Structure 1
Amino acid sequence: MPTDFYYPDEPRRQSLWSRLFSSTYAGYRHLQPSGPLLSAPRRPGRFRRLSLLRLCYHLQVVVGIILSLLFLTSVFRPSYTRLPPHYSSLRDAVSQSSEPGRGNVRNEKVFIAASLYDRSGDLARGYWGESVLQLIHLLGEDNVYLSIYENDSGPEGESALRELADRVTCQKSIVFEEHLDLASLRKIAVPGGAQRIKRIEYLAEVRNRALRPLDDQPEVRYDRLLYLNDVAFDPVDALHLLFSTNAAEDGVAQYRAACAVDFINPYKFYDTYATRDLQGYSMGLPFYPWFSSAGKGQSRSDVLAGKDAVRVRSCWGGMVAFDARFFQRGTTQPTAGVADGGSTPVRFRASHDMFWEASECCLIHADIQEPQTNVEEITDTGVYLNPYVRVAYDPTTLSWLGTTRRFEKLYSLPHTLINHLVGLPWFNSRRTEVPGQAAEETVWVPDEKGDGSGSFQHIDRMAGNDGFCGRPGLQVIVEHREKGQKGWETIPIPG
């Protein structure tokens, strides 16, 4: 007598796929009675059990497909995992020696700048401080100047910074201010008459204070300027950003600016506020490939192609390498845009329109690139995002980035679909402005009373070089904040 039974119309042999993913369902069928019982009335409970088993079967198939895709992608098509040859050569040079300066084969001069808020002291005493010290060693202490500016962090922050300063072996400027004097910062009259300081005005000031040693020693020349946020980073990745990004045939990196990619968790890109694609569009959803397909979609295409120099108009990403000539007096600078007031060298700044906000980290890129006469036809700006170099805002997230990047190519299709569903990128009426040309803009015009009252009006004025950076809004700092209160707040736009 046969040991198993089948419905008359069911194939006796199951496919390999069914045997792999339908063991529960198949086992159930094997136990079905045959013969006269087949014609017995089917009870509702039996239908429910059968439907549940079918659902489990389909779920197992879906899970199996997903797991297979993850495995195959991570093994055969990983994203930004296999380093280009010159990246691998630099990493090998670092790992095979312990000599100071081994990561800086051309002995380039590097100015490292950082502005910190470190109330607990964990940054200076912890992973950030250790990474900075290792980076100095790899660059060679004779090739580096370290400038750190910190303010309003309290006694623990000050103590930790002074401990770090004692361990720094290169030339340095380590400045701690108990309280930044706000009297020197530009104030605006907001609706209601109060005098407030724009958040970006404040952030630009503290970033510029870390650059002051460049003015104090104008005779010293640097090749690169590296600006660091309070991020967890691999010092060798910092070397790749400085010396490997968009390398020419002679091996020398060519850029006006090169940015890392920063993550707030293992999947989520963080600095969407400062990043704009090659045509000035804001970001898509903050996961790979990060950029939308709006316009010509060149930045997105560069990411999907695995390029180490993804062409953009601006970026930051927690760690940025610049051509230092833009920041020094008396240097022969490449052609650059004109900052507000036409000042050189470039420095961080804020937009002075009342209800128009733009990150200081975007505006600095607007000021170092050539003015664009046709935004839709831009092919390169000299500003690049380097997805091989990734940083995070805590060490745990950083430790996961080597894994999550292996299968991130699978995100591109859902990224495209969801971008369209939610309407990304956001519309920016000033994106296509051409510097120096007349433009009609809607701006807030204050009343002569100076009490913060006013109205939005359409006016004709000369377009600046930074329209792509901005968006409507107004954020101001909270000067006397209480414990647990954020350091800034949003002022509603008048209706």
Structure 2
Amino acid sequence: MQRAREMRECSPVLVRNAPKQAYSPPFPWLRSSLARNSDTVSLSLWVCGALLTVWVYTSGISPPFPSASSLISSSPTLTSYLERNATYYISATFWNNEDILSAWTSETLQLIDILGPSNVYVSMTENDSEDDTPTMLRRFGRQLDVLNVRHNVNISTGIREEPLNDPWRSVRHRVGYMTNLRNGALQSLEDARQRFDVVILLNDIVFHHTDVLKLVSALGGDDQREKARNNHHKNTRRRMACGLDMDNAALYDAWVLQDRCGRPITGFWPFFTSEEDKQAVRDGHVLEVGTCWNGIAALDGDMFIDSQLRSKTADWHTGALRFSEPPECVISECALLPLRITNTTGGAPIVVDPTVVVAYSVRGWKYYAVWLRMPVVKLWMHIFEERYWDLWWNMGMGKGLRWTGLDNGREKKECIIDGWPRCDTNDAAVPGGFSFRFRGDL
């Protein structure tokens, strides 16, 4: 008996794990409610996932460019222009651009097809290219011949002057060279002896043909048809509309682009100083600026032709607009053009459409104009990245690429522009209000 008791006390006890059981609420009504809710949540997640998948594969990864027909039907300006066969003058300059010319000519041909071959004049200039650019331009000219599109291809040499291997030996020399080249592309305006409704200025860029339609619509003020904006203007007829040019992870033409009050922009999105302007960029709304160029622009054609050819409603009462030689100080010829418009008209609006994005390489254009603007990528950016950018700006980092002048402000001969309206008092620009002085005078 004693031995049996010891064995019972010393023998190991076998412990068996009870089978796992899901938690079961004590009340039957609660159990059934949780079961129903679980099924509802699962079904909701499945439906949302299915809808998201369908959206991604049908719309989310669709190209971000609207069709030309949808743009025209929603634009009173474009509709009116097409109905009355409005005329367009396309001016472009090239140098060593064989990498992008195939894309450029393809989009230009699509644009011509929409505007009407008989309504378009294409003028192109090229100077001293070291690649196949001249040959490609001549080939494009033959395509225009087949389509009966009036055009001029000006292949030239020697405009740069000596030394040819160092054309940018000074900024002022470069500005003078580019002024001559751009005015050469406008020479056919005088030779054509006719009125053009819109002058389209293009750099050596990659663009989409609907970008030009958007700028023509913005030039006509279609975004203002149903709301009164820019009431500070004495002259509300827009004269110039630009896009945005991107290159190397930043906005490219920071030297020229300034806001309505002359404040410089930053290369970081959304580029501008005021919250109103930054919000316009986020929302893709047309916004007013002081000067712009950015590789692509649409302008009121009345400004570029002789007075006897202008429309009855023209209020450009001076000589035909051209690119100007720089004053004694240094300034871009592309900034002088909108400044002259403002000085002549007393502040006629100049605007930017931030949905028009161009680039200087096909790869860069596919990234900035296509990939980053696909609906699914924009949704991701809106949910996540915009908060990052807001934090970036709030920490003061957004000013990191703000334009501070040529050579970071060390170029003493750079022009400082006086006469900008004040944004805090909502001033309006006045005729002849702008003047120039040297940065070194500060």
- TM-score bucket (shorter structure): 0.5 to 0.7
8 Å contact 1:258–1:384 — kept in the other structure?
yes
Change (3 A) 1:213 1:107: same
Q: How much does 1:289 deviate?
A: 0.8
Counterpart-to-counterpart distance in 2, 1:366 and 1:2: 89
Give yes or no for the alignment of 1:132 onto 2:108: yes
Structure 2 counterpart of 1:235, one-letter code: H
Q: How much does 1:136 deviate?
A: 1.1
Superposed, which structure 2 residues align to 1:421-460 within 5 Å?
Answer: 422=400, 424=402, 426=404, 430-433=416-419
Q: Which residue of 2 is the match for residue 281 of structure 1? A: 263
Counterpart-to-counterpart distance in 1, 2:438 and 2:113: 41
Q: Which residue of 1 is the match for residue 290 of structure 2? A: 313
Structure 2 counterpart of 1:357, one-letter code: V
Give yes or no for the alignment of 1:121 onto 2:106: no
Counterpart-to-counterpart distance in 2, 1:365 and 1:232: 23
Larger helix share, 1 or 2: 2
Q: Which residue of 1 is the match for residue 217 of structure 2? A: 243
Change (3 A) 1:325 1:270: same
Q: Which residue of 2 is the match for residue 303 of structure 1? A: 281
Give yes or no for the alignment of 1:272 onto 2:254: yes
Change (3 A) 1:106 1:155: same
Q: Which residue of 2 is the match for residue 418 of structure 1? A: 396
Q: Which residue of 2 is the match for residue 177 of structure 1? A: 156
Give yes or no for the alignment of 1:395 onto 2:369: no
Counterpart-to-counterpart distance in 2, 1:2 and 1:238: 78
Change (3 A) 1:464 1:472: farther
Counterpart-to-counterpart distance in 2, 1:425 and 1:217: 40
Bigger radius of gyration, 1 or 2? Answer: 2
Secondary structure at the counterpart of residue 92 of structure 1? helix
8 Å contact 2:93–2:203 — kept in the other structure?
yes
Q: How much does 1:414 deviate?
A: 1.1
Change (3 A) 1:274 1:105: farther
Change (3 A) 1:281 1:334: farther
Q: How much does 1:222 deviate?
A: 0.8
Structure 2 counterpart of 1:325, one-letter code: D
Structure 1 counterpart of 2:357, one-letter code: R
Q: 1:326 aligns with which of 294, 303, 315?
A: 303
Q: 1:160 aligns with which of 133, 136, 158?
A: 136
Q: How much does 1:162 deviate?
A: 0.9
8 Å contact 2:343–2:434 — kept in the other structure?
no
Change (3 A) 1:386 1:224: same
Structure 1 counterpart of 2:258, one-letter code: R
Change (3 A) 1:171 1:82: closer
Q: How much does 1:271 deviate?
A: 1.0
8 Å contact 1:131–1:234 — kept in the other structure?
yes
Q: How much does 1:229 deviate?
A: 0.8
Q: How much does 1:418 deviate?
A: 3.2
Give yes or no for the alignment of 1:384 onto 2:351: yes
Identity %: 25
Q: Which residue of 1 is the match for residue 38 of structure 2? A: none
Long gaps (5+) in structure 1: 4-70, 76-80, 96-100, 184-193, 374-379, 436-462, 474-492
TM-score, normalised to structure 1, is 0.57
Counterpart-to-counterpart distance in 2, 1:244 and 1:93: 11
Counterpart-to-counterpart distance in 2, 1:230 and 1:2: 80
What is the CA RMSD across the aligned residues, in angstroms?
4.2
Structure 2 counterpart of 1:288, one-letter code: W
CA deviations on 1:74-97 (whole Å, 9 max, x unpaired) are x9xxxxx999xxx957443789xx
Structure 1 counterpart of 2:177, one-letter code: Y
Change (3 A) 1:328 1:409: farther
Counterpart-to-counterpart distance in 2, 1:154 and 1:262: 24
Counterpart-to-counterpart distance in 2, 1:371 and 1:326: 10
Q: Which residue of 1 is the match for residue 173 of structure 2? A: 198
Counterpart-to-counterpart distance in 2, 1:154 and 1:397: 22
8 Å contact 2:91–2:122 — kept in the other structure?
yes
8 Å contact 2:245–2:358 — kept in the other structure?
yes
Secondary structure at the counterpart of residue 104 of structure 2? helix
Structure 2 counterpart of 1:222, one-letter code: F
Moved more, 382-391 or 394-403: 394-403
Counterpart-to-counterpart distance in 1, 2:171 and 2:70: 52
Moved more, 359-368 or 150-159: 150-159
8 Å contact 2:172–2:330 — kept in the other structure?
no
Change (3 A) 1:151 1:325: same
| Count of matched residue positions in the alignment of Structure 1 and Structure 2 | 331
Q: 1:225 aligns with which of 169, 174, 199?
A: 199
Long gaps (5+) in structure 2: 1-14, 18-51, 57-61, 74-78, 163-168, 227-235, 410-414, 422-430
